[in-house]
Amino acid sequence: TMFATQVYGDNGKMKEYHYTGPVEHRFSPYSFNGGTVLAVAGEDFAIVASDTRLSEGYSIHSRDSPKCYKLTDTTVIGCSGFHGDCLTLTKIIDARLKMYKHSNNKCMTSGAIAAMLSTILYGRRFFPYYVYNIIGGLDEEGKGAVYSFDPVGSYQRDTYKAGGSASAMLQPLLDNQIGFKNMEGVQHLPLNQEKAVQLVKDVFISAAERDVYTGDALRICIVTKDGIKEETVPLRKD
């Protein structure tokens, strides 16, 4: 358009402004590339799911950029936020995993990876990695485990967690369907793998309806003692 210049605001979203005088332009090291991640822990399985859209402002960079990364045979991490930091962070985690394996002669457990990630993130407390992380995997007893993080390393173990751009839409739905919150007289059935996968698919369909940054396709990683299975489901592309 000829009359309004569009400028990227601090978090990567476009801003239109009227020229009212000299404006100081600052270089922002961050950019917001969108994406939603979700992890659910079951009795003997864990699911980490993410959409595959990479966007910036109102444009799409890629329709096939999944945000789940396999760390070990029993752990998957989902990272959303600034894609540059996501890539660097996963590289650093991979390197640290190798170092641990070579010094201690065993693979890192999910809990250990979570604790390590917390210190890695806090190490950059004053120039943070702009990444929302969720780790999903099996703990030492073989039970499902989910660890959710904030950008500077605060973490806790959860049963289920949504992160990224549509997290505020998904989390209440999960609270209701998995946590049985705000419901009375409903049987608290334990979540089995099939129901959990169906729920994750439905929840992402809803997120794609109302969040512009979520869509294109859904990548689901199911972690069980037999390994990691991947499934891809198409979502809205508009």
Binding site for another protein (CB under 8 A): 1-4, 13-14, 16, 18, 55, 58-60, 165, 177, 182-186, 195, 198-199, 201-202, 205-206, 209-213, 235-238
Question: Smallest distance from the beta carbon of 24 to another protein, in angstroms?
Answer: 19
What residues contact 154, with CB distance under 8 A and at least 6 apart? 118
Pairwise CA distance, residues 53 & 218, whole Å: 9
Question: Smallest distance from the beta carbon of 39 to another protein, in angstroms?
Answer: 19
Question: Smallest distance from the beta carbon of 236 to another protein, in angstroms?
Answer: 4
Q: Whose Cβ is closer to another protein: residue 59's or residue 105's?
A: 59
Question: Smallest distance from the beta carbon of 88 to another protein, in angstroms?
Answer: 25
Q: Which residues pair with 155 in a beta bridge?
A: 149
Q: Whose Cβ is closer to another protein: residue 39's or residue 208's?
A: 208
Closest CA to 151 of 80, 222, 71: 80
Q: Whose Cβ is closer to another protein: residue 120's or residue 205's?
A: 205
Q: Whose Cβ is closer to another protein: residue 177's or residue 224's?
A: 177
Q: Whose Cβ is closer to another protein: residue 1's or residue 103's?
A: 1
Long-range contacts of 234-238 (CB under 8 A, 24+ apart): 235/51, 235/204, 235/205, 235/208, 236/208, 236/209, 237/63
Closest CA to 81 of 32, 128, 120, 129: 32
User: For the CA atoms of the chain, what is the radius of gyration?
Assistant: 19
Question: Smallest distance from the beta carbon of 205 to another protein, in angstroms?
Answer: 5
What residues contact 208, with CB distance under 8 A and at least 6 apart? 51, 214, 215, 235, 236
